[in-house]
Amino acid sequence: MTATLLIMPFALLFAGLPIYVILLLTALTVLAFSGVTSEIIQTTIFGSLDSFPLLAIPFFVLAGEIMGRGGIAKRLVAWVVSIIGGVPGCLALTTIASSELFGAMSGSAVGCVAAVGRLLLPALRQGGYGDRFSVSLIASSGAIAVIIPPSIPLIIYGAVAQQPITKLFLAGVLPAILVGLLDGAYVVWRAKREGILTDTHTSWRHALTATKEGFWALCTPALVFGGIYGGIFTPTEAAGVAVVYATIVSRYVYHDVTWRDLWVIASDSAMLVGQIMIIVVAAGVYSWFLTTSGLPQMVVSTIQSWHLGRNETLVVFNLLLLVVGSFLEPPAAILILTPLFMPVVTALGVNPIHFGIIVAVNLSLGMYMPPFGLNLFASHSLFGVKLGTLYRGVIPFLGINMIALIMITYIPWISLALIRLTN
């Protein structure tokens, strides 16, 4: 049974099947030969979805879609440009900063790629950056949404590892900023090297105008996170508030969407949420069989038999997460690997909140790591750039963010500082 659980998914993956089909087929194959009653499938399916924190996912997805199409994202980008215009490589810096801001409102990496890319790719092309760099920058920057709250992968990790979502959100802030700063330093250096010194200009008047026009958009993260950490509402309730606020601002303040548009946005969001939840269900069933097969205990005993120290074990986990993250979407990877890793993490004395951020950073790299990074496929589909071009273009960003991963892994303070500050 264990061999089937490990080998069959890879065979089906290379056959080109969707991940939820892979996980369900593997689980059903094991079920057919295990003698376990089929009722366990029904129980596990409903049990996988019976989690209050998971209710935040559809709300944050819908809020992100409304913000992306309702003018909020556009005004955030304009505000960022007004602040850093004139800095060498400022359009590339704007892409990173806008991804940080939009990721802090949507929690969706692919949504971030779509929203920021549609707004900034034409300007990046006109600024002389070239398709390979521009689209690779958008694909890698969009992955910041996996780390920065309200990250959907962090919500799922919190539900699986039974860790408080509020602490995970707080822990993700500084690592996401670190990733953005390292990426920003690289794009400024590259702009200077290639002679792209200024892409646009700014002034105090321009900045004040952009701030005034984007005021309601800029209030979005303040409302969501101020409400969470002010003790006014839970992350799930904050997601609902974000939907209501984004709807009111987009419909009645900016007048960028109609009720018909909101219906289309809600329908598209429902499709995306359905895909995520199907993965959650399929991974829940697959994880149940993994657990009952005794594989977690085998993993723990095997790693312990290597007599590795804490640092060496984290290296092993990072390598496994990077490999798995390059094939699987973050929700599936978290649902499958977290039950395997947590016993070892606990035995090593690694803070589970810190480990959750390590997982998120690894999987954020996986979003644009060849060959199957989801952001690469999204960028290829949205912007018409060949995958081979993207594979070459993301290499510098992978290298830079590997440095960030090492720092985050071995300097727990980066993840835990804000939590300790608020205690």
Q: Report which of 145, 183, 162 is spatially closest to residue 61, judged by C-alpha positions.
A: 145
Residue 122: cis peptide before it, omega within 30 degrees of 0: no
The CA distance from 323 to 308, in Å, is 20
Tell me the pLDDT band of 203, cut-offs 50, 70 and 90.
low
The structure tokens 């499958």 sit at 336
Using a cut of 0.75, tell me whether the model's pTM lies above it: yes
Q: How many domains does the chain have?
A: 1
Hey, is 266 helix, strand or coil? Answer: helix
Quote the pLDDT of residue 38: 67
Q: For the chain, percent helix, then strand, then coil, each to nearest 5?
A: 80, 0, 20
pLDDT cut 70: percent of the chain above it: 91
Rounded to a whole number, what is the distance in angstroms from the first to the last CA of the chain? 46
What residue numbers bound the domain in which 327 lies? 2-422
Quote the pLDDT of residue 396: 94
Tokens read off for 1: 């049974």
Q: What is the pLDDT of residues 26-36, one digit of tens each?
A: 877 877 777 67
Question: 105 pLDDT exceeds 90?
Answer: no
When computed from its CA atoms, the radius of gyration of the chain, rounded to whole angstroms, is 21
Question: 381 pLDDT exceeds 80?
Answer: no
**Alpha helices, DSSP H, located in 143-253:** 152-161, 165-193, 204-213, 215-229, 235-248
CB neighbour burial string for 253-273, b if at least 16 within 10 angstroms, e if fewer: ebebbeeeebeebeeebeebb
Q: Report which of 280, 291, 217 is spatially closest to residue 253, judged by C-alpha positions.
A: 217
Q: Report which of 217, 213, 185 is spatially closest to residue 87, judged by C-alpha positions.
A: 185
Neighbours of 292 (CB within 10 A): 14
Question: 25 pLDDT exceeds 80?
Answer: yes
Q: What mean pLDDT is predicted for residues 41-46?
A: 74
Question: 1 pLDDT exceeds 70?
Answer: no
Q: What mean pLDDT is predicted for residues 130-143?
A: 90
The CA distance from 127 to 166, in Å, is 40
Question: 142 pLDDT exceeds 80?
Answer: yes
Tokens read off for 101: 């801001």
